[in-house]
Every structure is written in structure tokens, then in C-alpha cells.
Structure 1
Amino acid sequence: MSKVAIVTGASQGIGAATVAAYRKLGWSVVANSRSITPSDDPGVLAVAGDIADPAVGRRIVEAGLEQFGRIDTLINNAGVFIAKPFAEYTLDDFDAITSINLRGFVTVTQPAVAAMLKTGGGHVVTITTSLAEHANSSLISSLASLTKGGLNSATKALAIEFAQQNVRFNAVAPGVIRTPMHSPETYDYMAATHPVNRMGEVSDITDAIVFLQNAPFVTGEILHVDGGQTAGH
């Protein structure tokens, strides 16, 4: 029986590339997003649903168990980024960000870890942001820092909580990655926010995820894939 990964936010960008990366490893994949469509690949189970809905996380895990019989890895990729001055955030903004970035993390990770424990262990990777540790006045995003920074801390706490139960927790903290989230006219500006003077590519993130997957002695790690942003300017 092949191993099984869940990927949230899987319809495009980093999520879609992560699905492809795990299929290349020979894994089966449960792919979730609000707009995801059924796959022609029998090794990919598409489960549509908004991770902000507390019922969706459990439904994703249950669907994966029914189809593939086990869950070995969860990639928490779904996330919301709303960049605006702190005083301009609305309660709707707050609810949108926290329901996906925080509540969505909890409601899919809890049942996923429960499934992993039944088969002897597993791995959780959460996609955060380098801005949580390296604030930048040209990319003001305090609610992203509030939520993603919390996920960095939770990653370390959970790595310790589950260390002796063979469930690893790691995070990948990207810089600005060239995805459909960013329009081409912003590329030069975004590139300049990195000391290496370029944006990251989706493959940079999937390579980091696969590295963590294949590094069984690594847990509680926040792996910065950010072109040197957290190192300084």
C-alpha cells in the first residue's frame, strides 16, 4: 500500500505543485481546495471544500482513509494573505484570515494526526511566511504575521508534544514566490525584497517540502526558503 499525503490549497500554485511532487515520489494524494475538480489520476483524490468550514478538515481525512486506507503526511498549504495597514483591517478581514490560517489548520491537523498515530506515525508540514520573523515596511501584513507566526510556534510545540509518538511537525517559511497570487507587473518590486534579488519559484518550495519529508531526524524546524530575507538586508 502506497503512502498517502493530504495537501490543502491544492488547486494551483504551491499546492498543485506539491500534489505533483508527492505523486512523483509514488505517493497517493488527497487534494483539497474550494474549487478543486476531480482528477483523471487514480492516485489523486480531489475533495472540494473550504477549509474555513470546521467540518471540512475531518471530511478530507475521512475521505482519504476510505479511499486509500491511511494518512502519512499532511501539507497545510491553504492560507490567506491580506496586506493592508493595521488600522484598516476589518472584522471580516480578521475572520477570513483566522478561519483559514488558524481554525483550518486545527480542524484538519487534529484528525490527520489521529489517523497517523494508528499507523505508527507521520509528518505535518505547514506553509508559513518569512514575514512572521522578518517584518518589512514595504510588505505590511500584521495579520499574516499574527497567524503564520502562531503556526511557527505551534509547529515547535507540536513537534515536542508528539516527538515520542513518531509524528514530526515542520514548517516551510517562504519569501515571495512566483504564483498566480502575484501579477507580473509586481515581479520587479517583489524580487527586490529578497537579498538575492529575485522571487522564489514554486519548485523551491516543493523541494523544501520533499527534503523535510525525507529527513526523519528533523522535527520542529522552520525552514526558511526566502532568498535571504530573514538573514537581513
Structure 2
Amino acid sequence: MNTQKVAVITGASQGIGAGLVTAYRKLGYAVVANSRSITRSDDPLVLAVPGDIGQRGVGTDVIEKGLETFGRIDTLVNNAGVFIAKPFTEYTDDEYDQVAGLNLRGFFDTTRRAIAAMLDHEDGGHVVNITTTFAEHALSSVPAALAALTKGGLNSVTRSLAIEYAARNVRFNAVSPGVIRTPMHPEETHEFLAALHPVGRLGEIEEIVDAVTYLESAKFVTGEILHVDGGQQAGH
């Protein structure tokens, strides 16, 4: 019987995703790492699976390749996502397709197949969705309706699935970040973005990684939306 635990991480080539790959390896997990541009790892326990999970069927294929290589899936971190901030009436059809594809289709395909795999072994499993505090706490200075539409949906489905599978030993949680210092945000925007948080600074990648690894070990926690946002959701 294969006892090597396996985590799947989407959006794994940089930023939070790359930090999560390192963290789960330190926890002793084999890792299936996905992004459009992911490259092969020298670590035999890191399987790189390139592909755009915003496209139908790609997320399912990522899970299948993980199962073929490692034989099981224990954790899925839905980290891949896209964020486009602009006035609602200025969003284009292509931008809608891009945001909904990655944030929702990507979640749907990977999670549906991963849950089926988790139910195949008695250890159950854990799904963590990376969302955003912009989904719950709107700011007039950052119009982000597509983030609210899609990531807000992920917050809701986190709770829904937590209850649906609670008795079957599969947990579902979300980490809701504020703005994190990643390659997504150019240096010249940092001062403006830092001011969006009551604590007056950007979040760091390791602070999101720490939240995910906490949830991994917190076996009595399911259906939780864990805010790591410098107080943003509390007010401003």
C-alpha cells in the first residue's frame, strides 16, 4: 500500500504556488506542480504538469497524471488564479472568459477529480482554495467585480463542500489573502497597495504558505475562510 502523501498545487511556478511546493516537500509530501509554464524539477518527488487549467479537461488531466505517478492524492491547493481590476463596464468578453476559466473552471475540473481520488482511501483528504479579501470587502479604489464574482464563489463552495463531505473525511478550507508581495505586482504599485491594509504593508508569500500549512495540520477545521489580509476584512 502506498503511504507517501501527495499534494497537488496549481499556479506552482512562482509566487505563492512556488512557496507551497517547497513547504509541502518539507512536510514530506510528494508534489504535483501545475502551471502553464512549469518546468521539470530535479526532485523526483515533484512532478511538473504543464497546462492551462482554465481550459476544459486540463485540470482533470493534472490529477490523473498525479495518480499515475504517485498512486494517490491527499491534498489539493487551488492556488492558480487571475486578477483583473477595472471598472465593471470596461471588462471585455475575453477577460471574463479568462477570469472565469482559470478561477472557476480550473477549480471545478481539478477538485472534482481530486475528491474522487481522496474518497478512494480511508485517510480522506483536504482541499484549500486561495481566494481574496476583495471578494468580501469591496474597496472604491480597486474595482474588482470579476474577482468578487469568481473568488466569492470559491468562498461559498468551500463551505458547501465542507458540509457535503464532512462525514467522509475530506476537509475544505480557504485562505483569503490581502495583497501579497509577488511578481504579479510591479514595485511601483507597492506603496498604493500597502495602504489598502490597516497594518500598512503588503503581505509576504510565507505568510500565506504558513496559513495553508496550518490548515493542513488542523484536522478539526473545515469550512473555514482564513483571512490573511492585514485586517482588511475587519474594516479600514
- TM-score category (smaller protein): over 0.9
Shift of 1:62: 1.0
Q: Which residue of 1 aligns with 2:9?
A: 7
Shift of 1:220: 0.3
Shift of 1:206: 0.2
Question: What SS does the aligned partner of 1:94 have?
Answer: helix
Shift of 1:59: 1.1
Identity of aligned residues (%): 67
Residue 111 of structure 1 aligns to which amino acid in structure 2?
R
The within-5 A match list for 1:22-37 is 22-37=24-39
Residue number among 5, 12, 17 corresponding to 2:19 in the alignment: 17
Shift of 1:54: 1.6
Shift of 1:29: 0.2
Residue number among 127, 135, 140 corresponding to 1:132 in the alignment: 135
User: For the residues of structure 1 that align with 2:207 and 2:16, how far apart are their CA atoms?
Assistant: 10
User: For the residues of structure 1 that align with 2:76 and 2:224, how far apart are their CA atoms?
Assistant: 15
Q: Which residue of 2 aligns with 1:214?
A: 217
Residue 98 of structure 1 aligns to which amino acid in structure 2?
A
The within-5 A match list for 1:114-153 is 114-120=116-122, 121-153=124-156
The within-5 A match list for 1:189-200 is 189-200=192-203
Residue 211 of structure 1 aligns to which amino acid in structure 2?
Y
User: For the residues of structure 1 that align with 2:90 and 2:189, how far apart are their CA atoms?
Assistant: 22
Question: What SS does the aligned partner of 1:118 have?
Answer: coil
Aligned residues: 233
Q: Runs in 1 of length 4+ with deviation above 3 angstroms?
A: none
Residue 220 of structure 2 aligns to which amino acid in structure 1?
F
User: For the residues of structure 2 that align with 1:181 and 1:225, how far apart are their CA atoms?
Assistant: 18
Q: Could you give the per-residue CA deviations for residues 115-172 of structure 1, whole angstroms, max 9, x where no partner exists?
A: 0000121000000000111001111100100000011000000000000011000000
User: For the residues of structure 1 that align with 2:43 and 2:91, how far apart are their CA atoms?
Assistant: 41
The within-5 A match list for 1:12-161 is 12-120=14-122, 121-161=124-164
Question: What SS does the aligned partner of 1:126 have?
Answer: strand
User: For the residues of structure 1 that align with 2:222 and 2:191, how far apart are their CA atoms?
Assistant: 35
RMSD of aligned alpha carbons: 0.6
TM-score, reference length from structure 2? 0.98
Where does structure 1 lack aligned partners over 5 or more consecutive residues? none
Residue 203 of structure 1 aligns to which amino acid in structure 2?
E
